[in-house]
Structures are given as structure tokens and as C-alpha cells.
Structure 1
């Protein structure tokens, strides 16, 4: 299982703390350190929709020019933006065996997803 995110993000920290507390083994992939590929972003878009991947509530999105925001109206524009500004990707994203199993942190959802 791979957790994708940014290590200084509070939501990611909450998710990682929860997973550790519940003895869930994972690998962490930091977008800032390792980047992300177009292929991975496109795969996730097909699984959960590009609209779900773009975090429009975050600081990075709000700091973008209105013209840039307005241009994000399809998968290819969203993928290009997420590749350039990884902080705009909703996080954490959890992938198991190539499938997105969680997006964001919701303790109730994690209890269901990671029930033993």
C-alpha cells in the first residue's frame, strides 16, 4: 500500500498517525521529493475522476490566477496542473495494488477501508 501526499500537510499527518496507531503497513510517497508521473495522474483520474483529485479548497488552488483556475476544465488540463503544482492534488491518496482505496482523511471511512 502506498500513501501519496506531502509530509508537512496536516491532513496527511493525521492520516499517517491513524494508520500507524492501527498498525497498517504502508510506504509513503512524497510528491515534493519524488514528483508524480502523468501516467499515474491519468490512471487515478480514470478511477476517481480528475475533479476529485484537484483540491479546490486548498491554499495552492486559491493562490492560482483566476485564468489558470478557469482553464482547468478537463482531464488533460488538470493533469498538467497537478504535475506542475503537486500541492493541488487532494491528499492523502491511498493506493493498494494499483487501485485508489481512499482520498483525503476521514476516520470513519478509514475504519471501513482498513477493517481487519
Structure 2
């Protein structure tokens, strides 16, 4: 299944992985919108919809500096509601990029995954 011509890529502009994903799309002439969720926030229901489809564990970036800087009490005993609350309060906790194209939802960037999706 091919993705629609104009997907939206969600993330923050200074993230290296975001830069790689956007460069990959641009090099292949894939028009896309960019949503800076740190600057512009997350519309109500968007994050919750992603979590419902993929699970909060897929979306929560536990490897990043933002997560490591959280107090230990915030990092312990996470569940879906608490993870969503943290990701809303600290958008950098959301793995990047999140690419939405039609009914497809891709998290992270791997050239082979994008190649398969845009084949």
C-alpha cells in the first residue's frame, strides 16, 4: 500500500533523526507538511489516537535526555495515562519523527521502512 502524496511529519526541527527523515523525503520529491509539536503543541486527541493505535511504549522516548532528566518518581510506574501526561507536558519525550499519511502511522526513521512505505 502506498502512502498519499502529502504526509505530515511530526516532531521538532533540530532533532537529527527528523532532519534525516525530512532529507530522505525531500531527496525523493515527497511533498510533506511539517508539524513542530514543541512549538505548536499537540491538538487534543492526536497523541491519544497515536497511543490507541501503537501503544504508549512505542511513542515514549525513554532513551533521550528529556526522559533521563525527569525526576525518578516521574519515570517509575508508568502506565498509559501517566505516559500521555508526560508526553503532553514534555513533547520531546515523543519518539521522532511521527509520520502520518492516510491511515499509515510510522514512528522513528529507517530508510528501508520509508522506502517500503513510499515504494
TM-score of the superposition, structure 2-length normalised? 0.90
5+ residue gaps, structure 1? none
1:41-56 matched pairs, under 5 angstroms: 41-56=47-62
1:80 to 74, 85, 89: 85
User: 2:23 — aligned with what?
Assistant: 17
Higher helix share: 1
CA distance in 2 between partners of 1:79 and 1:100 (Å):
21
5+ residue gaps, structure 2? 1-6
User: 1:60 — aligned with what?
Assistant: 66
TM-score of the superposition, structure 1-length normalised? 0.92
Render the CA deviation track for 1:26-45: whole Å, top value 9, x for unaligned.
Answer: 10000121101341111000
Contact 1:38 1:83 in 2 (8 A): no
Secondary structure, in 3 states, of the residue corresponding to 2:42?
coil
Runs of 4+ in 1 over 4 A off after TM superposition: none
Cα RMSD for the two superposed structures: 1.1
Shift of 1:25: 1.1
